[in-house]
Amino acid sequence: MRILHLLYESRGDYFGTGGVATRAYEIYRRLKDRHDITLLCKRYPGAQEGEIEGLRHAFAGIESKSLLKTLLSYAFQAARWVRERQEEYDVIVEEFSPAIPTFLHAVARKPVVLQVQGYTGSLYFRKYNPLYAAALVAMEQLRPAGYADFIFISPETAAGFRRKAASRVGIIENGVSPELLAVPMTDGGYVLYLGRIDIYGKGLDLLLSAYAEFSDSFPSMRLRIAGDGRDMKEFREMISRLPGGVREKVDLIGWVSGGVKTEVLQKAAFAVFPSRHEVQPIAVLEAMACGKAVVVSDIPGFSVATKSGGGLSFRRGDASALASAMKTLAVNKKQMKELGIKGRERVTDLTWDRIAQRYEKFLIETAERK
């Protein structure tokens, strides 16, 4: 099968990557020996076409350090690419973003699967100026209505979108590396945050405030933050404004992967994810796979942790509630272990190998049905 995937973020991206790219690479490196795969990505400064991690990459759009210009030019050129070259492929997967108005359903004759990894809604108004936020909300609601085949990461995400009555929907979750499920469950000594450095979206301002309160009761437990992102400079400044006794216990260890990430997860006491908006983040699944209890905000995107009994939740946006949940785990190691066991049980079937098989089956069925 010849697959074209419109992937707006890719390895080496000047603007950074997140779960969207991680999911694509994990799935396609398991399918590349059986299918012909092309990733059509947004162009960024220094992007070079060719193979990355054994996958063919092509780029569309203009090179710019303006994310908005990059996204809009990518939308225009990616739609033209599909219009001109779609006969080379059996199925097309479009990674949905309201900020990338390709309107691909209007130009594609080949079957198109819209993969939707998140729903934001009115939260756009809390992050962007009203005009831009209104445009994003409109695109989030209007664009999916033109498509017939969807992959959603969770039922909660699917519920946020209007679709055709006859649309075909696959719920295919994110996954974890099977190696993490074999990591021995051990007691750890620090609080861990693992993910992108996005202050508002990931709730990192809340995390610092909560940790300052938590640290008064548990001065020996450090906070380790593993990740990178465009907000890193501002985040460093926020850390520098913490009281000295707190500031010196916050460790920024940067982006981690492979064995280093496994070690960082294994040695944590528990992991914290205080996001204001989220859709089944891979980092939460990885912490659960390592048998770590998680503390998450009470948003639908974290239902995989809360419904399984693998973590504690706190009221979104409430730093004191987050600090209280952290204290609850820190004083009760038995509960912490029980949550870790339940979390690991929940993600046992969510290995990337199995996710890739379900994904492949959906695409094959889509191509054959069309």
Residue 279 pLDDT > 80: no
Q: What is the rounded average pLDDT of the residues 12-24? A: 84
Write the CB contacts of 1 (distance below 8 Å, at least 6 apart in sequence).
34, 35, 36, 90, 91, 363, 364, 367
Instruction: Check: CB of residue 82 under 8 Å from CB of residue 92.
Output: yes
Is the pLDDT at 370 greater than 70? The verdict is no
The whole-number pLDDT of residue 18 equals: 79
- β 50-52/55-60 pair status: antiparallel
pLDDT at 252: 97
Cα gap 54→49, rounded to integer Å: 12
% helix, strand, coil for the chain, step of 5: 45, 20, 35
pTM, to two decimals: 0.88
Indicate the pLDDT class of residue 229, thresholds 50, 70 and 90: confident
> Can you name the CATH fold of 2-175+351-369?
Rossmann fold (3.40.50)
The answer to whether residue 74 scores a pLDDT higher than 90 is yes
- Supply the DSSP string of 110-132, one letter for each residue: S-EEEEE----GGGHHHHS-HHH
- What are the Cα distances from residue 37, in Å, to 15, 90, 237? 23, 10, 42
Beta bridge partners of 333: none
Please indicate whether the domains covering 2-175+351-369 and 178-347 agree at the CATH topology level.
yes
Q: Which residue has the tokens 């198109």?
A: 112
Q: What is the structure's pLDDT at 19?
A: 84
Distance CA 278, CA 352 (A): 20
Hey, CA dihedral for 311, 312, 316, 321, is it positive or negative?
Answer: negative
* Confidence grade of residue 347 (pLDDT, cut at 50, 70, 90): very high
pLDDT at 355: 97
d(CA 279, CA 119): 8
Q: How far is CA 221 from CA 4, 224, 263, 288, 349, in A?
A: 47, 10, 17, 20, 32
- Whether the per-residue pLDDT at 301 is higher than 90: the answer is no
Domain assignments of the chain as residue spans, ordered by start: 2-175+351-369, 178-347
CA distance 254 to 240: 17
Contacts of 358 (CB under 8 A, 6+ apart): 170, 172
C-alpha torsion angle, residues 243, 249, 253, 259 (rounded to 10)? -160
Overall average pLDDT of the 296-313 stretch: 91
| H/E run at residue 105 | none
Tokens 């390709």 — which residue? 102
Give the pairing of strands 311-314 and 294-297: parallel
Task: Give domain 178-347's CATH architecture.
Answer: 3-Layer(aba) Sandwich (3.40)
How far apart are alpha carbons 302 and 284 in whole angstroms? Answer: 8
Nearest alpha-carbon partner for 145 in 110, 90, 98: 98
DSSP string, 34-85: TSEEEEEEE--TT---EEETTEEEEEES---S-HHHHHHHHHHHHHHHHHHH
Q: What is the pLDDT of residues 45-61, one digit of tens each?
A: 888 888 888 899 999 99
Reply yes or no on whether the pLDDT at 39 is more than 70.
yes
Report d(CA 78, CA 84) in Å as an integer.
10
d(CA 296, CA 271): 9
pLDDT digits (tens, 9 = 90+) for 113-156: 999 988 888 878 877 888 888 988 888 888 898 899 999 998 88
* Radius of gyration in angstroms for the set of CA atoms belonging to the chain, rounded to a whole number: 21
According to the model, what pLDDT value does residue 278 have? 80
Whether the per-residue pLDDT at 164 is higher than 80: the answer is no
What's the whole-number mean pLDDT along residues 336-359? 96
Contacting residues for 212 by C-beta, under 8 A, at least 6 apart? 242, 243, 246
Residue 175: predicted pLDDT: 95
Q: What is the mean pLDDT of residues 65-70?
A: 87
Q: Confidence class of residue 364 from pLDDT cuts 50, 70 and 90?
A: very high
Distances, alpha carbon 123 to alpha carbons 19, 129, 139, 153, 276, in Å = 19, 11, 14, 19, 9
Average pLDDT over residues 239-251: 95
- pLDDT for 120 equals 80
Output the average pLDDT for the chain.
92
Q: Per this entry, what is the length of the chain?
A: 370
Asked whether residue 179 carries a pLDDT value surpassing 80, the answer given is yes
Report the pLDDT value the prediction gives residue 113, as an integer from 0 to 100: 96
Mean pLDDT computed over 273-277: 92
Lowest mean pLDDT among 5-9, 14-18, 228-232, 313-317: 14-18
Q: What is the mean pLDDT of residues 322-336?
A: 96
pLDDT greater than 80 at residue 291? yes
Rounded to an integer, the average pLDDT of 79-83 is: 94
- How far the first Cα of the chain sits from its last, in Å, is 13
Distance CA 318, CA 209 (A): 10
